[in-house]
Amino acid sequence: NRVEVDVSGNVVDNLGKEEPVPGYNVQLTIDAELQKVAEQALHAQMEYLRKYGGSPNAYAGALVALDPNTGAILAMVSRPTFNPNLFSTGISYKDWREINENPFHPMDNKAISGEYPPGSTFKIVTAATALETGKVTPEELYYDRGYHPLVPEKGNDEGKALGSINLKTALAKSDNVYFYEMGLRTGIDKLEEYSRKFGFGSLTGINLDGESEGLVASRDYKRRVFDEDWYLAETFDATIGQGFQLATPIQLAIATASVANGGIRYLPYLIEKILDQNGKVIKEFKKEKIA
């Protein structure tokens, strides 16, 4: 309904009424049952960490599940959350303060915006870099002493030595020293190159606001930010997803999916179809290869 008002806000003329028209419907790629299970699993894990895992502030987390053959998002969870209905009629000061001052930032979609050290999940990238550059074969045995001889302070958890291991065992046991050696062989420049091929350090392109790029460890980054040279110990950190490395949960999901599907990186998407009020498909979204 359109009206004309004077300077005091009084209605002086009715300019006509336009009847509302139903908007389009959106069909998501989300699997409702999987979404429910994912939310329960994340909640249970954070609760466990607070009670028994030595992490009393484990109130923030994210989870992403996608179809590796299409890039379709099947479940996406970010915690903590908030009730969006509070904004529908004008949020109260009390409710806004609770959301805005929450130190765990409930309004951030951590699945796409949270930047975290990827840790041992990144060893897949280090392994792929060493294999693709011919610096190792799956069968080659490397002797793990529990530490790397070139940087002895860099070792496995509690200094545990696994002895002669190949790539498969190193991945299965999440052995640090083996991947330090792979970093030594490939160098940080090649590791940076292949990290970017996996999609790290750039937006995935998902059609949601607020996505973060993460950070790929590199000589250039350290020089620009700290004006310092690069050290071998920092290469070792990078190989196991620590040091300067930062990734979003969705980047990790896509990188893992590209290994599972044989090396294809698909554009992640949340909308499957847009339909009018009669159920007619206006637009349909399908898998899109990006690398």
Catalytic residues: 120
User: Under 8 Å CB-to-CB from 55, ≥6 apart: which residues?
Assistant: 49
Tokens of 177: 């020293």
Q: How far apart are CA 88 and CA 176, in angstroms?
A: 50
What are the strands, taking DSSP E only, across 114-229? 142-144, 147-148, 151-155, 163-165
User: What is the largest distance, in Å, between two alpha-carbon atoms of the chain?
Assistant: 88
Tokens of 159: 């200094």
CB burial of 108-147 (b: ≥16 within 10 Å; e: otherwise) equals bbbbbbbbbbbeebbbbbbbbbbbebebbeeeeebebebb
